[in-house]
Chain A
Amino acid sequence: MSLGSIFDIAGSGMTAQSLRLNTTASNIANAETASSSTEETYRARKPVFAAVQQSLLNPGQEGFPMAGDPAQGAGVRVEGIVESQAELQMRYEPQHPAANEDGYVYYPNVNVAEEMADMMSSSRSFQMNVDVMNTAKSMMQRILTLGQQ
């Protein structure tokens, strides 16, 4: 238990949110990347978040009775990135260089409106974690002035 662990927690939140922003950028950038087969087509990518438990962070302290509550969380981590299984868009574009023999091309299953909403959400969450870190910093600075005139 200390103010220092707030920095770790907020830092893990910022890492996770910036990774989410990263996947959003990748999705939007590839929203119009056409290809001729379903296997090659880009699919929207989404990160999966999971809470970190404190006992995972310091396994040495596990079982020690006064080492803090192991059930208390210690931030967030990205468990993995999954590709969306939504249906790909099939468009009839015979002039397209990647069109198959029937004249169809496949476009990614990226929903740009959804990605924009995701982008706003992740940047707000990132900001929130920055605020938390700033507050923890000012608390810590205050503690350092303890006993000064």
Chain B
Amino acid sequence: MAISFDNALGIHQHAVEARVKRAEVLANNLANADTPGFKARDVDFQAMMQRAQESVSGFQMETTDDAHMDVSASGAEGELLYRVPYQPSVDGNTVNTQQEQARFMRNAMDFQASFQFLNSKFSGLTKAIKGE
């Protein structure tokens, strides 16, 4: 019986990937905190996880032709949305620095949590292989 890493790791690998993606988007918001006209963005984490869940559970589109796009491969690709600003600014920038920084930190924490889950999956597998 072969070990399927995809089945063993479950949703957590997609969660880590989604957290990295979100960290990138939030870092870009913070880098552009002083750029006139810049609109803050964020990813829809729930939609990303939902899509990842679908690809994990096995209900996915089948590719029967080379020209078909592999939709499941982009399981953690989420739609980029624009943030609704709390207050308007003269230069059209919608980045609220403090909030973005808080979100970035929170995202890093959630990343650690997902990573911990993923790591314990691996140590579980190791224990199973060693027969401990």
Contact = CB atoms under 8 A, between A and B. Distances in A.
Interface of A: 1-3, 5-6, 9-10, 12-13, 16-17, 20, 48-51, 65-66, 68-69, 71-76, 121-122, 125, 128-129, 131-132, 135-136, 138-139, 142-143, 145-147, 149
Provide the main secondary structure of the chain B interface. Answer: helix
Given A69-B80, A128-B101, A49 B34 contact: yes
Given A51-B38, A136-B23, A139-B111, A75 B122 contact: no
A143 B74 CA distance: 20
B35 A50 contact: yes
A125 B69 contact: no
Nearest to B112: A142
10 nearest A-B residue pairs (beta carbon): A13-B31, A49-B35, A73-B28, A147-B122, A6-B27, A9-B27, A135-B108, A76-B31, A132-B27, A9-B31
Contacts, number: 110
Nearest to B16: A143
B20 interface: yes
A136 B27 CA distance: 9
B132 to A, nearest CB: 11
18 contacts: A1-B17, A5-B24, A13-B32, A13-B33, A48-B36, A66-B69, A66-B70, A66-B73, A76-B34, A125-B97, A128-B33, A129-B31, A132-B31, A142-B111, A143-B115, A146-B122, A147-B123, A149-B126
A9 B97 CA distance: 16
Nearest to B69: A65
A49 B36 contact: yes
A62 B34 CA distance: 27
A30 to B, nearest CB: 23
A17 B31 CA distance: 9
A72 B73 contact: no
Nearest to A128: B30
B8 to A, nearest CB: 12
A3 B23 CA distance: 8
A147 B124 CA distance: 10
Nearest to A121: B34
B115 A132 contact: no
